[in-house]
Amino acid sequence: MTTTKMTDVCTIAQMSEQGVYPSDEQRHSFAKRLLTWFELHGRHGLPWQYHHQPSADIYAVWVSEIMLQQTQVVTVLKFFEPFLARFATVQELAVADWQEVASFWAGLGYYARARNLHAGAQQVADFIDTHGRFPETVNEWQAVKGVGRSTAGAIVAMGVKKFGVMCDGNVKRVLARHRAVFGDVTKSATDKRLWEIATALTPKEYSGHYAQAMMDLGATICTRTQPKCHLCPVTDDCIAYALGVQSQLPVKKKAPPKPHWHSIALSLTHCGLTLWLHRQNGSGIWDGLWSLPIFMLPLDDNQKLDNKTLSHAIFKAWQSDDKVHDLLHSQLIEILPMPTQTSTVYLRHTLTHVHWHLYGMSICLNHSQFNQINQTLTALGIDYLWTDAPHDLPLPAAMHKLLTLSNSSA
């Protein structure tokens, strides 16, 4: 693009939250430059790109896309192949017990994804029984539990190998900068505009390679902070780069501050064994996994935390007459002595919606307390286990971290 034309484009861009729609020439050259770069510098050989079972391509792409949501490739690589080794087909996943599915997801986080994938597998297996094939269109895939518009486009493009448009967070960042979309990406009008641009730039052929290239460009070059513009294949007509505002885009309304939770993770031990509870809450975090008993503490977000404050919060949790505990915790508190802060292990665990402060504490039980707890858990129908090998259980990442901290401080 000539300097004069680029100057005109920049002027227009600064006047509009909608950015500059690509010309026909740009629509052709953008994909060409991107695919050339991807061939030379993109990430190749990922297990979901060239799966050893050609008939499982669509399924493998689907599983990978769900795992990759809000999770880096390097993390997904640790989980993807073991998951596919156990659930090699969508039919195997569909008939699997949820607790086993959860055990293969343990540590990957965002467990609602696994539950949706499991439910979606049952839908897709039924679809295959009826139609003799996987879903093949974006609309068919969007009807599957846990599959949104962008994920559906990615599956169609990379798995079905038909025309599909992907517009996830990485892609939106690239497009917002390249076309100078100054609108707030959390607003529907801006989102609609980015989808229009994404659709215009996606080539009718090789849309699967293009989708992978866009993801790679956003993940490795056009990163959220400190983008490597000198290595970008589409810098020549990137309006944000020309304006020097790439670090300001995309515009996103600042999220409200996350609340803070404070909890005790209580290690109850007897004769060298520790109590672990099987969480079966149907939809919440850690569903299907094992954890230590968790006791919420009455602490405010902005409350300064020191040993005195923590001790007072523990006292309130154990002595309060308020009905603030669930049935299990109320009954356990009646059995257990109040824990002390001796050898407390602290972990700050950040989730998408909350900062969780976990204080690992231990109580050694006498024989009477041990029997009372077993009777209480059995009466409440809670699945529990006394073990000296908790690492063999499917544990959430926070529990793994607490165990590591406890072992290192012992």
Q: Going residue by residue through the chain, which has 410 residues, state the pLDDT in tens, using 9 for 90 and above.
A: 555 455 555 555 555 688 889 999 999 999 999 999 999 999 988 988 864 444 448 999 999 999 999 999 999 999 999 999 999 999 999 999 998 999 999 989 888 899 999 999 999 999 999 999 999 999 999 999 999 999 999 999 999 999 999 999 999 999 999 999 999 999 999 999 999 999 999 999 999 999 999 999 999 999 999 999 999 999 999 999 999 999 999 999 888 888 888 888 999 999 999 999 988 766 567 888 899 998 888 777 666 567 777 777 787 777 755 444 456 777 887 888 877 766 688 999 988 888 999 999 999 999 999 999 999 999 988 899 999 999 889 899 899 999 999 887 76
In angstroms, the CA 143 to CA 150 distance is: 13
The structural architecture, per CATH, of the domain 260-409 is Alpha-Beta Complex (3.90)
Task: Look at residue 77 in the predicted model and tell me its pLDDT.
Answer: 96
Structural domain boundaries in the chain: 3-248, 260-409
Contact predicate 279/286, CB 8 Å: yes
Note the CATH architecture for domain 3-248.
Orthogonal Bundle (1.10)
What is the C-alpha to C-alpha distance for residues 126 and 62, in angstroms, rounded to an integer?
A: 16
Is residue 273 within 8 Å of 282, Cβ to Cβ? no
Query: What phi, psi does 384 have (nearest 5°)?
Result: -140, 170
Residue 52: CB partners within 8 Å, gap ≥ 6?
none
Report pTM. 0.83
Catalogue the active-site residues: 65
d(CA 201, CA 41): 20
267-281 residue pLDDT tens:
999 999 999 998 876
Q: What is the pLDDT of residues 381-392, one digit of tens each?
A: 889 999 999 988
What is the pLDDT, as a whole number, of residue 62?
A: 97
Largest CA distance in the chain: 85
